[in-house]
Amino acid sequence: MIAVGVVIATRDRPTLVRRAVAAARAQDYPGPVRVVVVHDRSEPDRALATGGERPVSVVANQRTSGLAGARNTGILALDTELVAFCDDDDVWAPGKLREQVAALAAAPAAELVTCAIEVEYGGRGTPRLAGRDRIGLAELTRSRMAMLHASTFLARRAALVDPARIGLVAEDAPGSQNEDWDLLLRAARRTPVAHVDAPLVRVLWGRSSFYTYEYATKIASLRWMLDRHPELAACRPGAARVYGQLACWSAASGDRRAAWHWAARAVRHNWRELRTPIAVAAVLGALRIETVLAALHRRGRGL
């Protein structure tokens, strides 16, 4: 059976990371599973390390500080054929690895496989499905497809460590945000991403996230994506979506001039883009972006 390595990056969340580790070790996948917990900007908890059939090793992030560097540290610490990511506040269903390994076997050209998620917010779970079993570059250019969360990624390690193929996680992503979308685009540019359209990962949204209200970082990471992937600006609805987000985050951060700028660009690319009126209303003081985010999160959606 194919060996799977699991990279769990963590930072000062001891209870949550133990839950993530337990779920990874409890997979009903019949092959070997190894877990590496990478502590980023926090003291490694050596008590997490264990041997047995599904060993857990504990390391400190040896690369760029942040989530991207921590994931790369884990990838390079493993020698398994396949590598999966799991955030420390997310939980896998028992059949996650088994179903994804089978999906990769059925699509031998694919280098990355994802699955759907269940968003947990305020004690409520909401499934997010993709409605397909292959994800191409066009779909990912038009939409981020939030159900393709990094905690669902299972990739061929050889493709991740080879810069001529997918390559490692981008450590220059501002705040390690949108690095997962970037990785998806790079993978899909080579071959469609395989997908298991079942909610096999429970993703915790809300204040457990380090990034929910870091608007300046959100803006910087989206501009980084536009610079890095020219195809985003070339796709009118996809560009409008990004510009609408930039308008919203600018409004939330109090930068009215930038909010108007990005809202105008969004309208020029797609006047139906729903984020644009949200940003305009926020600039005019008719609503707060945080209120919109909370309402969307209750429905398993993001902005």
Asked whether the beta carbons of 16 and 90 are under 8 A apart, the reply is no
**∠ CA 51-24-200 to the nearest 5 degrees?**
170
User: What element of type H or E holds 197?
Assistant: strand 193-204
Residue 294 to residue 278: CA distance in whole angstroms: 14
Q: Write down the pLDDT at residue 299.
A: 86
User: What beta strand segments (E) does the chain contain?
Assistant: 4-10, 33-39, 56-60, 82-87, 90-92, 112-121, 124-128, 134-135, 154-156, 193-204
Per-residue tens of pLDDT for the chain, all 303 residues:
999 999 999 999 999 999 999 999 999 999 999 999 999 988 899 999 999 999 999 999 999 999 999 999 999 999 999 999 999 999 999 999 999 999 999 999 999 999 999 999 888 899 999 999 999 999 999 999 999 999 999 999 999 999 999 999 999 999 999 999 999 999 999 999 999 999 999 999 875 554 556 899 999 999 999 999 999 999 999 999 999 999 999 999 999 999 999 999 999 999 999 999 999 999 999 999 999 988 888 888 888
Q: 83 has which bridge partners?
A: 5, 155
Q: Write down the pLDDT at residue 212.
A: 58
Q: Write down the pLDDT at residue 210.
A: 47
Q: Write down the pLDDT at residue 75.
A: 98
